[in-house]
Amino acid sequence: MSRPGSSLNEKRVKLNEDPGGDLSVFTKALTAAESPETRLLSAFNKDPHARKAYLAGREYYSEEGKTFELRLVRRIKQQLSADPTTRPEYPSSLGLTEFTRRATEVALGKSSRAIVENRVFGVQTPGFTAAVRLGAELLRHWYNVGADWCGPVYLSSPCHDSLAGIFQAAGIPDIREYYYWDDEQRGICLEKLLKDLGKAPERSVVVLSASAHYPTGADLSQNQWAMITKLVMRRRLFPFLLLPAQALCYGDLERDAWPVQYCASQGMELLCAQSFSHCFGLYGEAVGHLLCVLKQNSLLLSVQRQADKIVRSLWAQPSVGGAQVVATVLSNPAHLVEWKQELKSIVERCMLIREVLRERLRLLGTPGCWNHLTQQGGLYCFTGLNGEQVEFLSKRRHVYLLPVGCLNVSAINGRNLDYIAESIHLAVTTSI
């Protein structure tokens, strides 16, 4: 005679011993498509070719082909780790106060009217995409108070692959595109851009790259920004600006942030997602920031509280280390000068690579005009190569670019430049 409950125990044992049964709640979960970057990196790592080159990375690479660490950042990390007064503790959910203050100042300028009138606040985030996500959550909350708002959000075509997914994850399903890059002109087509935004419904959110547009590397001029901001204000659209690599486009903090400062000077309410990972080499310590410029100081407290509530449900507190490094540099005049000099050398090297690559293609007689290589800025370059040519590069020449023809300029160096130029030449001439 079995003891009470034994049949139930036997069933539990059978369930646990049945590895082939459909017991997992994830059994019917859809498999997400592998990202192009993950697929490329996997193919590159498996490639045994001696001259293979991976040009799709996100980090800044030195002339030796290694991820670059700024000397100043390395020194400050050592100083902070050796400081006996430092104690481990949780930061505020909104981040380190000194970091958010300095991050706000480098985006808007210390003399910004919005700062003086105390209608600005910032939130430290664990990286750039987290800043975009927090901004999306805030927009959905604000707009849903008065109406059942679910978009649209306008993104540039092309743009970062993850942007649409970030807004959708925040509950904003209506994602649309506006024309940005023209393949034939190999540059920005302002006329079509303005036409698309001119059709946007009132209260639409327009995501605009302040500098270092990804993946094209092509940025709007100040005159183009003036036209766009007029349209945005006239159509009552909301600008969401992206500043992913300040000072790595032109080598100048203020010039890279000029669009943010200009929009704020026009009295516009805006959000701006910032990242300090690139410009400080803090790739393993993602340091992001969401800047919020309001129209009235009276709104500040309520928006801050809403941001705090959202943050507590997403990541609770950001990490401290990277933000301490950034705050230390930005608050010390001597450190600031040294940091700017290091960034300037990085920008100058990237521009030199662009110029030399263009000249190599010219000497090889590569069909087409390649002036767009030097008309772009930042780490990324939109080559204008099509999908067939990009595939030729990876399959036949072992040179890996993103499918849209985007490459990381810093990954090109004195050892591989000639091979890459020859490979691009062959890709173009073979496909003609």
Span 103-123, pLDDT tens digits: 999 999 999 999 999 999 999
Average pLDDT over residues 45-73: 93
β-sheet bridge partners, residue 343:
none
Lowest mean pLDDT segment, chosen from 181-190, 325-334, 348-357: 181-190
Confidence of residue 30 (pLDDT cuts 50, 70, 90): confident
419 CB contacts (<8 Å, ≥6 apart)? 51, 53, 397, 399
DSSP letter at 61 equals B
Nearest to 233 by CA among 261, 257, 263: 263
d(CA 120, CA 61): 35
Q: Where are the beta strands (DSSP E) in 10-90?
A: 53-54
The yes-or-no verdict on residue 141 having pLDDT over 70 is yes
Round to whole Å and give the CA distance between 67 and 62. 6
Structure tokens at 78: 């050592």
Mean pLDDT, range 178-191, rounded to an integer: 93
Residue 15 scores a pLDDT above 50:
no
Asked which of 84-93, 213-222, 267-276 is least confident by mean pLDDT, the reply is: 84-93
- pLDDT of res. 383: 94
% of the chain surpassing 90 pLDDT: 77
pLDDT of residue 298: 92
Complete domains list, the chain, with CATH: 36-68+348-430 (3.90.1150.10), 91-331 (3.40.640.10)
Cα 111 from Cα 264, distance rounded (Å)? 12
Contact call for residues 272 and 241 (beta carbons, < 8 A):
yes
Report d(CA 307, CA 291) in Å as an integer. 11
Decide if pLDDT at 13 tops 50: no
- Report CA dihedral (429, 370, 209, 203) to the nearest 10 degrees: -70
Decide: residue 184, CB within 10 A, 0-12 exposed, 13-18 middle, 19+ buried.
exposed
The total number of residues shown for the chain amounts to 432
Q: Can you give the pTM of this predicted structure?
A: 0.90
The confidence band for 1, taking pLDDT boundaries of 50, 70 and 90, is very low
Write b or e for each residue in 360-393: b if 16 or more Cβ atoms lie within 10 A of its Cβ, otherwise e.
Answer: bbeebebeeebebbbebbbbbbbbbbbeebbebb
pLDDT(335) > 90: yes
204 contacts 151 by C-beta, under 8 angstroms? yes
Amino acid in the structure at residue 168 = Q
pLDDT reading at 22 higher than 80:
no
pLDDT tens digits, one per residue of 248-300? 888 889 999 999 999 999 999 999 999 999 999 998 888 999 999 999 999 99
Average of per-residue pLDDT across 185-208: 95
357: CB partners within 8 A, 6+ apart:
370, 373, 412, 417, 420, 421
pLDDT of residue 191: 96
Over residues 366-382, the pLDDT tens digits come to 999 999 999 999 999 99
pLDDT band at 85 (very low <50, low <70, confident <90, very high): confident
| Cα Rg of the chain (Å, integer) | 24
Q: Parallel, antiparallel, or unpaired: how do β-strands 270-275 and 238-243 relate?
A: parallel
Mean pLDDT of the chain: 90
Residue 330 C-beta-side C-alpha neighbours within 13 Å: 25
Assigned token pair, 24 = 């997992």
CB neighbours (10 Å) of residue 331? 14
